[in-house]
Amino acid sequence: MSTSTTAKAATPSTAGGAGLTFGGVLKSEWIKLRSLTSTKVLLICTFVAVIGVGTLTAWLRGTIIEQTMKFGGAPTGLPGSSPSGMSAEAAEKTLPPGLELYGIPNGGLQIGILILGSLAVLFISSEFATGMIRSTMTAIPKRLPAFAAKAIVLVVVSYVITVVAAFVTFLISIPILHSYGISMNLQREGLLPAIFLGGLYVAGVALIGLSLGTLLRNSAGGIMVLVALFFVLPFGTQLLSLVPGKFWLHVNEYVPSVAGGRMLEIGHRDAYIDPWAGGLIFLAWILVFLIPAVFTLKKRDV
């Protein structure tokens, strides 16, 4: 190689641009997300469904409180108990754990987990399926910035959709609960943390989804594992708690969906695991999938 040829190779090209930047990669991933009609439809459907289920939850809990007020909260609903002898506040306190009113904005969270988690799997697995990943990794040969940008786009989108949907659900639940004589407001204990942590929880699920899509490189497989992890595993571990022995009793509390859900109950409900600990366990679950995903993405041929 002569010096003149190297000099030629070093001349800046006329296509402009500042070279590869992380901001550029982020923008690229955002364009990818919004330029697929299927994704846009799915996001709008998720938003509507989460609010719909949340509204239904508000109405259901209102009904339960109404019933409790009528029958005085007696669990058997004995006719001897004094009718309408209970205030809404008192009736509310008799709600079984898990049905507290502060959880209403997150009533549709499971839908959000299912769809946004699947979308996260697809965000990368579809690139492997179509071959797009080769274009992506040619433009971003270090690979990890592409993964990081995908993760950030997914975290922000899932967080915003979940939190906004939760606030809309909250607003809708005000008149519904009012008709049952209950006042719903932002000052309600645990409400705001539940809304914001709900967004984090779904964002965390999206990270697990992205990692599964990266590890398995297969849309159907990734979504199946995600569903198994969040919707089948908790049932399995619940059955395990019936096995004699102290060890099995609390296994259920450690699965990602239960630990992650526990995180939303800050200051509430005594359970084996503290909400903070629940959050940390969930974080550990994210890393269990994220770290191998990052490692294999860097290592493997695409």
Partner 1 sequence: MIEATNLAKKYGEKVAVAGVTFSVKPGQVTGFLGPNGAGKSTTMRMIVGLDRPTAGSVIVNGRPYAEHRDPLHQVGALLDAKAVHTSRSAYNHLLAMAATHSISTTRVNEVIEMTGLAEVAKKKAGGFSLGMGQRLGIAAALLGDPQTLILDEPVNGLDPEGVLWVRNLVKYLAGQGKTVFLSSHLMSEMAQTADHLIVIGRGRIIADAPIKDIIAGKQQTRTRIRSQQVSELADLLAGEGVSLNSSENETLEVSGLDAHQIARIALDNRVLIYELTPLNASLEEAYFDLTKDEVEFHSHSLANSGGPAPEGN
Q: Is 134 in the site for partner 1 (CB under 8 A)?
A: yes
Q: How many CB atoms lie within 10 A of CB 3?
A: 7
Interface positions, 8-27, toward partner 1 (CB under 8 A): 8-21, 23-25, 27
Place of tokens 């609010």: 51
**CB-based contact 108:161 (threshold 8 Å):** no
Angular region, 181: left φ>0, alpha ψ -120 to 50, beta rest: left
Residue 16 or 244 having the CB closest to partner 1: 16
SS3 annotation, 165-205: HHHHHHHHHHHHHHCCCCCCCCCCCCHHHHHHHHHHHHHHH
For the chain, the straight-line distance linking the first and the last C-alpha, in angstroms and rounded, comes to 31
Q: Is 87 in the site for partner 1 (CB under 8 A)?
A: no
Q: Is 3 in the site for partner 1 (CB under 8 A)?
A: no
Q: Is 38 in the site for partner 1 (CB under 8 A)?
A: yes
Paired tokens of 88:
């809404």
Q: In 66-203, where do the E strands start and end?
A: none
Output the smallest distance, CB 137 to partner 1, in A. Answer: 6
Q: Which residues does 270 contact at the CB level (< 8 Å), separation at least 6?
A: none
Q: Is 63 in the site for partner 1 (CB under 8 A)?
A: no
Chosen residue from 41, 44, 132, 284 binding partner 1 by CB under 8 A? 132
Stretch that binds partner 1, among 122-130, 158-166, 186-194, 285-293 (CB under 8 A): 122-130
**CB-based contact 167:195 (threshold 8 Å):** yes
Q: Is 37 in the site for partner 1 (CB under 8 A)?
A: yes
Chosen residue from 63, 87, 135, 238 binding partner 1 by CB under 8 A? 135
Residue 140 or 207 having the CB closest to partner 1: 140
Q: How many CB atoms lie within 10 A of CB 144?
A: 11
Chosen residue from 3, 5, 76, 82 binding partner 1 by CB under 8 A? 5
Q: Is 1 in the site for partner 1 (CB under 8 A)?
A: yes
Output the smallest distance, CB 202 to partner 1, in A. Answer: 24
Instruction: State the number of binding residues for partner 1 (CB under 8 A).
Output: 47
Question: Which residues sit at the interface with partner 1, rule CB under 8 A?
Answer: 1, 5-6, 8-21, 23-25, 27-29, 31-32, 35-38, 126-127, 130-135, 137-142, 299-302
